[in-house]
Amino acid sequence: MKNALITGASRGLGLALATELAKDGWTLTLTARGAGDLSAAADRLGATAIPGDVTDPAHRLRLAEAVQDLDLLVNNASGLGAVPLPRLGDYPIPTLRELLETNVVAPLALTQAVLPALRRNRGAVLNISSDAAVEAYEGWGGYGATKAALERVSHVLAAEEPDLAVWWIDPGEMRTRMLADAVGPQEAGEAPLPEEVAPLIVKLVTERRASGRHTRGSLA
């Protein structure tokens, strides 16, 4: 039996990944802040729903206690930060601190919490990143800085845990609520659906490719 824990699983890419993994026979534990949407997704997929905020240490402890047997952690939960997207010269520092907590500290802390279970199963960690981590887009400095930090965390984790597979994935633009908040619904509506991207990522998991950075293009 293959067991996965997916954060931010009530909608978007997290839900699409959960759907694909369920098709492949995985047992899923799903978490997200939106309890209603999460419960509906879990009921449909036959998964366990544990609603909560991954920035909350008590919630991370609940998740770790619930997944004593774990093969895959998907750190998908993420924040966008200030909108409309501000230039760095105007970026509100309290918002940036909150964004770092959501996009960097929480994924690392959750990874630490479930690491014993992952080590026992020689499991895998999949962190969702962005091209904003490596490209300089005006207005995306705050978000991009957090994703760059997440990529560095991922890369070092891969070096320190050679028995695990550690992937950091740039899935490209997708038709999600987050992208619509960033660029507007019209532009976001032209992007691929998360359901089109998720099978590529699940294929990487199934094949257990070497640890490293991957993009939607490299997975196709």
Q: Position of tokens 């690491």?
A: 115
Rounded Cα–Cα distance for residues 160 and 162 (Å): 6
Rounded Cα–Cα distance for residues 80 and 68 (Å): 31
The residues that are catalytic are: 143
Residue 188 DSSP label: H
| CB atoms inside a 10 Å sphere around CB 121 | 15
Structure tokens at 130: 């962005």
Phi, psi of 162 (to 5 degrees): -65, -20
List, in sequence order, every residue forming a beta bridge with 73; answer none if it has no partner: 5, 125
Rounded Cα–Cα distance for residues 5 and 18 (Å): 9
* DSSP reduced 3-state for 75: strand
The region that residue 3 occupies, defined by phi over 0 for left and psi between -120 and 50 for alpha, beta otherwise, is beta
Q: For residue 220, give every residue at least 6 positions away whose Cβ sits within 8 Å of its Cβ, in sequence order, or none.
A: 200
